[in-house]
């Protein structure tokens, strides 16, 4: 892990989010993904395992944190700053209904704080709370997010990106084929769960993303 | 500081507004309020915690947050309470230093000893009697096991599980530093009165 280097080196362009099924697979997919990350392609990896008890989440975060990641990569925990801190991760990603970032920041001045946003209003709150980056979605329709409502579309992504100077990751149905559309709207990078699920194709998928996003 | 004479801890009940419940418990004389809500979002927990902490300060009572060390820090609570499925006590202690009180749930003398070694400030020991408030994996521990744990460690032990004004004095006389209740206060017709009656019972248990 690279500590405190986000101020000198840019955030990775790709954000890989865990599948939320570590209660069933003991984190096997996540750990496999981390072990497969190519040396030249830094990733932001978010451990998002809502069904795990805190103890299990801590154990998984410690195991994940022990894996050597490509230079510039970052490992974050969803929602729980206490677990990010105790497991020695690089940051925390806060959902819109999380404890406000500015109330947590003083306890972790060197960690990265990301915020999920689904509206302009949430964007302004996240900016004021001192977020380092934003995650906006769902941009496209995706089975994993369908229960959160209809997709917001590229136009809304563009509005969000226009309204902030913070890096915005596009989330929700992003695949290499539509990543360029998100970048045209001003996105900083792409985030996904299911697109990275097939570990046999993970390296290839990451390479495709990078060739589109970083060209 | 954990009170040195026997006291009452009231834990919030997910079925009721935690702020109202905390207020009632404090009015009745509870010296420790534990905010416990396993399904609430971080923002919801934070706003409850801020309100409960404010009220605890007014009453010079301790505000303890269950499970979430992050929320405890954010709301400037007095401490956290961690179960065996929560963040390990040693990790929490390393993060918090001596800033916050750490309470650990234990259901046998071994767990209590381990918690003491890991830096806990108090032990929540139970469940002592059958309880409807939580799903339980083991049989009620009873006053004998409570006493055994009290004697095996030097930390304050808070007895929990199925405790009411009738059985509280016995547990205090067996060495418990406090009793913790959920439903005995939350489900009472008059929660503040129920808390007060528990507190009176606790005082009669002092040797």
Candidates A53, A81, A99; nearest CB to B43: A99
pTM for this structure?
Answer: 0.94
User: What is the secondary structure of B43-98 as a DSSP string?
Assistant: HHHHHHHHHHHHHHHHTT-EEEEES-HHHHHHTT-SEEEE-TTSS-HHHHHHHHTT
The C-alpha of A126 sits at a distance from chain B's nearest C-alpha, in angstroms, of 13
* CATH fold of A14-213: TIM Barrel (3.20.20)
Q: Does A81 touch chain B (CB under 8 A)?
A: yes
- In 3D space, the residue among A180, A213, A160, A200 whose CA is nearest the CA of residue A44 turns out to be A213
pLDDT-based confidence at A144, cuts 50/70/90?
Answer: low
- CA-nearest of A93, A84, A91 to A114 is A93
CA–CA separation, A7 and A3 (whole Å): 10
What is the spatial distance between Cα B121 and Cα A100, in angstroms, rounded to a whole number? 28
Q: Which residues in chain B have their CB less than 8 angstroms from residue A95's CB?
A: 41-42
Say which of B44, B85, B94 has its CB closest to residue A55. B85
In chain A, the residue whose alpha carbon lies closest to the alpha carbon of B80 is A82
Q: Residue range B67-79: average pLDDT?
A: 98
| In the predicted structure, residue B19 carries a pLDDT above the cut 90 | yes
The chain A residue lying nearest B95, using CA atoms, is: A86
Q: Give yes or no for residue A146 having a pLDDT over 70.
A: no
Taking Cα atoms as reference points, which of A80, A39, A85, A41 lies closest to residue A62?
A85
| Residue in chain B nearest A62 by alpha carbon | B91
pLDDT in tens, B27-45: 999 999 999 999 999 999 9
Cβ atoms of residues B56 and B30 within 8 Å:
no
Chain B residues within 8 angstroms (CB to CB) of chain A: 41-46, 67-71, 73-75, 84-88, 91-92, 94-95
Domains of chain A by residue range: 14-213
C-alpha A117/C-alpha A139 separation (Å) is: 12
Given this model, what pLDDT does residue B136 score?
A: 65
Cα separation, B103 vs B67, in Å, equals 10
Q: Which residues of A touch B71 (CB under 8 A)?
A: 99
Which tens digit of pLDDT belongs to each residue from B82-141? 999 999 999 999 999 998 999 999 999 999 999 999 999 999 999 999 987 666 678 999
Of B73, B84, B87, the CB nearest to A83: B87
Cβ-based contacts of B41 with chain A (< 8 Å): 95, 97-98
Query: What is the pLDDT confidence band of residue A182, given thresholds at 50, 70 and 90?
Result: very high
pLDDT of residue A9: 65
Q: Is A157 helix (H, G, I), strand (E, B) or coil?
A: helix
The pLDDT value recorded for residue B131 is 85
Of the candidates A82, A83, A100, the beta carbon closest to that of B43 is on A100
pLDDT at residue A156, rounded to an integer: 97
**Binary contact (B71, A99; C-beta < 8 A):** yes
Q: Which DSSP helix (H) or strand (E) runs through B143?
A: helix B142-152
Residues of B in contact with A58 (CB under 8 A): 87-88, 91
| Residue B47 appears among annotated catalytic residues | no
Quick check: A4 pLDDT over 80? Answer: no
Residue B36 designated active-site: yes
* CA–CA dist A139, A182 (Å, integer): 9
Nearest partner of A18 among A7, A29, A4, A26, judged by Cα = A29
CA distances from B149 to A178, B115, B156, B159, B168 (A): 61, 12, 10, 10, 17
Share above pLDDT 90 across residues of chain B, in percent, rounded to a whole number: 93
Does ipTM surpass 0.90 in this model?
yes
- pLDDT above 80 for A2: no
Within 8 A by CB and 6+ apart from A22, the residues are A29, A30, A49, A51, A52, A56, A60
Look up B94 and say whether it is catalytic: no
Residue pLDDT, tens place only, A68-123: 999 999 999 999 999 999 999 999 999 999 999 999 999 999 999 999 999 999 99
Sign of CA dihedral B14, B15, B18, B24: negative
């Amino acid at each position: 892990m690279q500590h405190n280097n986000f101020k000198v080196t840019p955030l990775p362009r790709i954000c890989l989010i865990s599948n939320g099924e570590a209660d069933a697979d003991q984190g096997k997919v996540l750990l496999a993904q981390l072990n497969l990350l190519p040396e030249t392609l830094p990733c932001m990896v978010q451990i998002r395992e809502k069904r795990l008890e805190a103890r299990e989440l801590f154990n998984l975060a410690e195991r994940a944190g022990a894996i050597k990641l490509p230079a510039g990569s970052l490992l974050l925990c969803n929602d729980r700053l206490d677990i990010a801190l105790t497991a020695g991760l690089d940051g925390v990603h806060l959902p819109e209904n999380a404890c406000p970032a500015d109330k947590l920041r003083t306890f972790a001045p060197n960690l990265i704080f990301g915020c999920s946003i689904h509206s302009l209003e949430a964007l302004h709150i996240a900016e004021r709370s001192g977020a380092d980056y934003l995650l906006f979605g769902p941009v496209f329709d995706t089975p994993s997010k369908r229960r959160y409502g209809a997709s917001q579309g590229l136009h809304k992504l563009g509005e969000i990106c226009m309204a902030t100077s913070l890096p915005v990751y596009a989330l929700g149905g992003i695949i290499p084929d539509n990543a360029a559309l998100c970048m045209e709207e001003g996105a900083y990078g792409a985030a996904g769960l299911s697109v990275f699920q097939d570990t046999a194709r993970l390296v290839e998928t990451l390479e495709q993303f990078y060739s589109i996003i970083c060209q | 500081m954990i009170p040195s004479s026997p006291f009452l801890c009231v834990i919030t009940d997910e079925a009721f507004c935690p702020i109202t419940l905390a207020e009632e418990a404090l009015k009745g004389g509870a010296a420790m309020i534990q905010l416990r809500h396993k399904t609430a979002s971080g923002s919801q927990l934070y706003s409850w915690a801020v309100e409960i902490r404010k009220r605890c300060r007014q009453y010079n009572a301790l505000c303890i947050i269950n499970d979430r060390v992050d929320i405890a820090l954010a709301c400037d609570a007095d401490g956290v309470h961690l179960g065996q499925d929560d963040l390990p006590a040693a990790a929490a202690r390393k993060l918090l230093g001596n800033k916050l009180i750490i309470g650990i749930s234990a259901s046998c003398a071994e767990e209590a000893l381990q918690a003491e070694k890991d830096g806990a400030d108090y032990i929540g020991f139970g469940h002592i009697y059958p309880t409807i408030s939580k799903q339980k994996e083991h049989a009620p521990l009873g006053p004998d096991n409570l006493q055994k744990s009290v004697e095996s460690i030097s930390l304050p032990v808070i007895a929990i599980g199925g405790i009411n004004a009738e059985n509280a004095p016995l547990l205090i006389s067996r060495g418990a530093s406090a009793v913790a209740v959920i439903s005995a206060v939350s489900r009472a017709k008059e929660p503040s009165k129920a808390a007060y009656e528990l507190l009176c019972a606790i005082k009669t248990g002092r040797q």
